[in-house]
Amino acid sequence: GILIAEFSNLFELEILISSIVAGIVVENLSNKGEELLQGIKTFSLPLYIVFFVLAGASLHLQTLQKSLLITLVLVVMRLFFLFISNYLAGKWLKKDRVVTNLSWMGFVGQAGIAIGLTHIIEKAIPGENGKILVSILLATVVINEFMGPIFFKILIEKAKEGQSIAFKKNKF
């Protein structure tokens, strides 16, 4: 972690992007990928706490009130495009109806990188406009994080139903 931070500072790169690239390289180009993941899992809880507390501290509720409609539109658009992209991929890959119609639900709660990117945006767009944009993006993430587990539970239940139907049809 310290090496990545120093490397990023030396070359004026974003630490988040450098960390993602380093993770990709270690996982795909070395035999230490599993070891890295185990190390991250060991220390992840305190890091998550700090990460999400800092994200919450960046969410300006007064600013969010002014942009609540935009936030809700973004949430709905994200859900729509998650559905469309997963639906089209499922059709293209000739997956069964359950996968085609429901796979999007598994992606609703993905937020870590989005939160990190809001801090990059906040640095790049100073002032009131940056605060508004960061508040909109963080609120969108928060809403998606609340909905994610709900949709994931629905996905699991529907997938079990789909498996059960396929199981009965094939008489295994």
Is 5 a member of any domain? no
Domain housing 78 = 48-170
Is 155 a member of any domain? yes
Is 61 a member of any domain? yes
Beta-carbon count within 10 A of 140 CB: 21
CA dist., res. 130 & res. 127, Å (int): 6
Phi/psi of residue 115, each to 5°? -65, -45
Is 15 a member of any domain? no
Q: What is the reported pLDDT for 172? A: 41
Q: What is the reported pLDDT for 1? A: 66
pTM: 0.62
| SS3 assignment, position 95 | coil
Q: What is the reported pLDDT for 164? A: 58
Q: What is the reported pLDDT for 34? A: 79
All residue ranges of the chain with pLDDT < 50 are: 171-172
Q: How far is CA 107 from CA 86, 146, 165, in A?
A: 10, 12, 24
Is 121 a member of any domain? yes
Which pair of structure tokens corresponds to residue 54? Answer: 């800092």
Is 29 a member of any domain? no
Is 141 a member of any domain? yes
Is 25 a member of any domain? no
CA dist., res. 22 & res. 88, Å (int): 31
Helix or strand (DSSP H, E) at 110? none
List, for residues 96-125, the tens digit of each pLDDT value: 888 888 888 888 877 667 877 787 888 888
Count of domains in the chain?
Answer: 1
